[in-house]
Amino acid sequence: MREPDVQVQPSALVTYSQVIDQEYGVLSQIQATLAQVQIPAGAFGKLPDSAELLDAYGGHADAEQQNCSDLMDCLDYATGGLQTTAVNYTGTDADMAVMFGGAQ
């Protein structure tokens, strides 16, 4: 079976890393906005288990903050990986061109 002919365009990798970086910024704003949401102690009124509901909400809010942080870490790693890969491909292409006499 013949291997597929794959062409890597470093500029596409850089562009994609920039898109991910923009999404990182949006997610950062969402995280900051969610962190500002505070539920007062009496928010659930005098319902039975209202204190437990408030505690459960707090636990969920904390988990969402951690989820946002984890996702932002993943996006940061992806951006760095794409940029590094683009630099490596560009360098390899330049080296190959020099080696085979295509550029000086």
Domain range for 52 is 11-87
Confidence of residue 92 (pLDDT cuts 50, 70, 90): confident
Q: What total number of domains does the chain contain?
A: 1
pLDDT confidence tier of residue 101, bands split at 50, 70 and 90:
confident
Q: Is residue 4 part of a domain?
A: no
Residue 96 forms part of a structural domain: no
How does DSSP classify residue 40? -
Q: Say if 77 falls within a structural domain.
A: yes
pLDDT tens, 36-91? 999 888 888 888 888 899 999 999 999 999 999 999 999 999 999 999 999 999 98
Instruction: Tell me if 40 is assigned to some domain.
Output: yes
pLDDT, tens only, 13-23: 999 999 999 99
pLDDT band for position 103 (cuts 50, 70, 90) = low
Per-residue confidence band for 99, with pLDDT thresholds at 50, 70 and 90? confident
| Predicted pLDDT at 82 | 97
- Quick one: three-class SS letters along 2-63? CCCCCCCCHHHHHHHHHHHHHHHHHHHHHHHHHHCCCCCCCCCCCCCCHHHHHHHHHHHHHH
Conformation bin of residue 101: beta by default, left when phi > 0, alpha when psi is -120 to 50: left
Residue 100 falls within a domain, yes or no? Answer: no
